[in-house]
Structure 1
């Protein structure tokens, strides 16, 4: 049964087969990087992750005589962390191979380290400019923001009693995934030893997005959204995949409308992608920094299709020389010498794609104060109302984010794109869905989707399946051939059956092909495809 028309249909294509609570830091587990840990994804089968992991641990130790310690688990994202610090590098490789062969193990990977993404500050100059550059004052004629909109800052922690932040912090300001407690206040407010260990980053990021507007004090954030803080980075600005993933899951479970990730550099990991996919499925818009590697490819997690990747601009709207570039970039924003809140209750300027990202997050929050949008609709609307500043799409995506356009333009009406910019599409959308069932891990189903729009700006695929099974979603574009589990253009394979794929500027020369595959278990599912004009 299809809710729009039967262009989402079963195909006979070759290759088709058989047509939450908070995961807190574990006591005794050190904060920051955890490079001696292996993260193991456990496929859904209706059993608790911790119990399954204990069984795996016993088998591994019996076969290898190498002791491993189960240090942490996350039931919602279905992964565990095994401490292998007592093993040699050779034995660690041996453990990884053994773990990969265990029943219900979906992946095994290092607990990679991510860093906050800022660059050294240039000398102070000028006044605050980022708000003006994205036309926030035009948006403020309509709204200063809405406390009912929540932006989660996953970072070093936020100084929530800063006089220009305290009015916009949630009454329960957040959670500390580094120390494992309910107080996300930074541990080190100043660099007392000159070793760079001051937790200023999260406070600066929070102020860019949502320092109090029109309060007669200090600077203005982009809008008066409510801030919650997930402290996942240590004093050095680094954090483990596990801590960051747990914080993202927590933020989504708190109902965050927008999640700001001004961090990156850990490479592609299944655990991190599962976290941003989970947040997207929960309705959050995940906004992430492109990275500061001077023109290198976009960093993870920004490079995941679930994330809206942001590049950085200089005050003259040229691309900042430190900003990463690539086809994953969706929006650009001011990132150089951005003035914001500091941990001494004052204000400082620093630069980076870390600073550009909360500009976009703040505009997203301000937009939600004016328009009732899903996360996919919000993402499309921000791009449709962006301003072309004369850069390539790999540098600016759809253009420089524009708060005035986003707030004053009715979603779906077109418009925006002042200063001669391309409006990126009308913002209209259309959806279709199909339902089916899979019986076991040997079963899969292939679909072919004919596009409704001639040039959609984005397509979002969503799979909702049984909680006691593990279904995965694959897609291919431009070939007309059904994807397989080893040959595909896009994949979403969390350890459960809730999957999401976002494709920007899809190739419409042929039908989009979609595969729903059972990794384990069986049951009914629904796959939904939404096109955005």
Structure 2
């Protein structure tokens, strides 16, 4: 590091202890679900996370599973197993299993396989012109770019009718994967009832300038990970697997117009995997009108989108709160629907505001070469203030014209140029599960738009990352404002508009195993 970098990135405290390195890392990949596993919600399942360095996921978990339960699914990349109990098993038996297995060495967490729902507030269909592309000025942005097929938006949702005449040209030749029925075709099983993803797809990328139907925000490529069933419900495990798949497909943007399942370590690990591997999750804030954002939008890795109407007022159903990043039109949005429902209809919800934002993000990537972190900042820096409070609009209403005409390197868009960001890396090692290193980051910018803290550690160990802001107190597993605790040593924390009143406090902690690591801090102007 340069002298200047060293001054910004200081050792706070240092503790070493002896200990052996962990065992070899497990192989990666999603294993197939057990044949006959029911689609949709999986209320009788417990998800168990296994730390890296503790061997085969299925073998590790199976040794603790009671005789009336079984491992029905594993994901070796996210390192979790799904344990299914009989439907007649009392709830107490499942809780006893959670309590018991979390005390075992190498078990990072155990949690219910919660159910997520589409974020849709239905309204009576009525004819009318679109207003969303005009309100976010996508039509003005089209003078600069109509979008680019090299940009991919993954729709993690119900099944989409990718053969729709107004979508087919923007769906890839391999349109997706079905995690509900465990096959390669994400088309809806019941097109008359399963239309949500078709509508979401059109909000983002119904083909522009093809003389047919409606226009999305731009001509990005689409893929569909079907993780919700025809009732609009899906399990944590199916959604997490779909997020991992979309990331591995190279999706630039992962649209999740779903929520309601509460905090989940499995889902947190999935969106963190996405961010660590270059994707940007954009998620619906939720539709119950409350003053807090639902998950997965509430994870720091995700952009949370609230909904406004054609008068740019917050929709009555839209959730809001301090974690809202942006707002977008989400009331009476005309978009594609399944042909059996008439091909086009109006729907309302943060489900609609989210793909409008994803489509604008696709337009920005068609114009600018941005990392996912830079894209996130650029969308916020170029948003339009529509005079709502920040807990309702976040940084403002997403604006396509500003996003494609504002050079990110000018300081107006999130650090795409050399003057917009600063980054430093420190390397060290931890020797055992009782070892940790603490650091503090001294700010380069007086009012940075964002800071990203990234940890890259050994594949056969499980290192965690904790951060405090606005205090001189060391971060730790028992005292943190932000944490990243996946089952491996690849961790990332993103903080928008951080508190710069004190240096940032950072803790690298070994949950299990030993080895070398790199800690990288990137600060955006």
Fold shared per TM-score above 0.5:
yes
SS at match of 1:531: strand
Q: Distance in 2 between matches of 1:415 and 1:441?
A: 43
CA offsets 1:252-285 (integer angstroms, 9 cap, x no match): 0111000000000000010000000000001001
The equivalent of 2:69 in structure 1 is 68
Worse overlay, 93-102 or 172-181? 93-102
TM-score, length basis structure 1: 0.93
The equivalent of 2:180 in structure 1 is 178
Moved over 6 A (4+): 423-427
Among residues 487, 495, 503, which one is paired with 2:495 in the alignment? 503
Contact 1:385–1:424 at 8 Å: present in 2 too? Answer: no
The equivalent of 1:381 in structure 2 is 378
SS at match of 1:297: coil
The equivalent of 1:209 in structure 2 is 204
Aligned-pair CA distance for 1:448: 0.5
The equivalent of 2:139 in structure 1 is 137
Among residues 294, 297, 301, which one is paired with 1:299 in the alignment? 294
The equivalent of 1:35 in structure 2 is 43
1:395/1:258 CA distance change after superposition, 3 Å: same
Contact 1:458–1:504 at 8 Å: present in 2 too? Answer: yes
Q: Distance in 1 between matches of 2:364 and 2:436?
A: 40
Among residues 281, 297, 300, which one is paired with 1:286 in the alignment? 281
The equivalent of 1:128 in structure 2 is 130
Contact 2:147–2:362 at 8 Å: present in 1 too? Answer: yes
Contact 1:136–1:404 at 8 Å: present in 2 too? Answer: yes
Among residues 503, 512, 517, which one is paired with 2:504 in the alignment? 512
1:33/1:412 CA distance change after superposition, 3 Å: same
Q: Distance in 2 between matches of 1:452 and 1:188?
A: 54
Q: Distance in 2 between matches of 1:105 and 1:400?
A: 42
Aligned-pair CA distance for 1:336: 0.4
Q: Distance in 1 between matches of 2:59 and 2:249?
A: 26
SS at match of 1:180: coil
Contact 1:413–1:428 at 8 Å: present in 2 too? Answer: yes
The equivalent of 2:520 in structure 1 is 528
Structure 2, unpaired ranges of 5+: 18-27
Worse overlay, 316-325 or 123-132? 123-132
1:440/1:449 CA distance change after superposition, 3 Å: same
Aligned-pair CA distance for 1:10: 4.1
Contact 2:408–2:415 at 8 Å: present in 1 too? Answer: no
Q: Distance in 1 between matches of 2:394 and 2:184?
A: 38
Contact 2:280–2:302 at 8 Å: present in 1 too? Answer: yes
CA RMSD of aligned residues (A): 1.8
SS at match of 2:410: coil
Contact 1:458–1:502 at 8 Å: present in 2 too? Answer: yes
Q: Distance in 2 between matches of 1:216 and 1:413?
A: 37
Q: Distance in 2 between matches of 1:368 and 1:40?
A: 37
CA offsets 1:336-368 (integer angstroms, 9 cap, x no match): 011110101611000000000001100111111
Q: Distance in 2 between matches of 1:149 and 1:129?
A: 24
The equivalent of 2:16 in structure 1 is 18
CA offsets 1:293-312 (integer angstroms, 9 cap, x no match): 11331000000000000000
Contact 2:455–2:491 at 8 Å: present in 1 too? Answer: yes
Give the number of equivalent residue pairs. Answer: 511
The equivalent of 2:5 in structure 1 is 5
Aligned-pair CA distance for 1:236: 0.6
SS at match of 2:274: helix
SS at match of 1:98: helix
Contact 2:453–2:519 at 8 Å: present in 1 too? Answer: yes
Structure 1, unpaired ranges of 5+: 191-197, 417-422
Contact 2:161–2:338 at 8 Å: present in 1 too? Answer: yes
Q: Distance in 2 between matches of 1:12 and 1:96?
A: 36
Contact 2:381–2:395 at 8 Å: present in 1 too? Answer: yes
Contact 2:415–2:524 at 8 Å: present in 1 too? Answer: no
The equivalent of 1:261 in structure 2 is 256
1:122/1:270 CA distance change after superposition, 3 Å: same
Q: Distance in 2 between matches of 1:23 and 1:490?
A: 31
1:424/1:290 CA distance change after superposition, 3 Å: farther
User: Is 2:218 the counterpart of 1:238?
Assistant: no
1:88-487 matched pairs, under 5 angstroms: 88-124=90-126, 126-190=128-192, 198-344=193-339, 346-414=343-411, 428-487=420-479
TM-score, length basis structure 2: 0.94
1:24/1:117 CA distance change after superposition, 3 Å: farther
Aligned-pair CA distance for 1:380: 0.5
Aligned-pair CA distance for 1:4: 5.6
